[in-house]
Amino acid sequence: MYSIQFPKMLSSARTILVKDHDATLTNLELLLLSSKDTLFGDPYFGTNIIRLLHSPNDVVLKDIIIDDIYTNILTFMPQVKLERSNIRIEITDTQVVAKITCTNLLDFTTNMYEINLLQEEDKR
């Protein structure tokens, strides 16, 4: 599997691609850090995480974020197999990190991906 490297996707006259596990990580980051209604042509692509993170912190907020991540990964990333129980959200003072353990169906290896849900585009 190949994917376009994000955000540094162009180099002079060619497109920079990543493959296999790097492509899975890139696709996960792109999916989780995109808000719904921002992808032209597919308004359902992305998550509601940014909007949810600005909601009042209550007991069910982590579960709502986990549900949103789980649903969108199942919908838009058929190259991974995922159980809802393998998604954890860790919140510190300045970071919200999603730790996702899933099986990559390209070679059936299990990987853990850590994605900072508050990272900015230019810091990736």
For 84-118, write each residue's pLDDT tens digit.
999 999 888 788 899 999 999 888 999 999 999 88
For 57-87, write each residue's pLDDT tens digit.
777 888 999 999 999 999 999 989 999 999 9
Q: How far apart are the C-alpha atoms of 55 and 30, rounded to whole Å?
A: 22
Cα separation values, 73 from 8, 11, 47, 80, 90, Å: 23, 29, 10, 8, 19
Q: Which domains are delineated in the chain? A: 2-123 (3.10.450.40)
What contacts 103, CB < 8 A, 6 or more positions away? 80, 81, 82, 109, 110
Handedness of CA 41, 36, 123, 114 (dihedral sign): negative
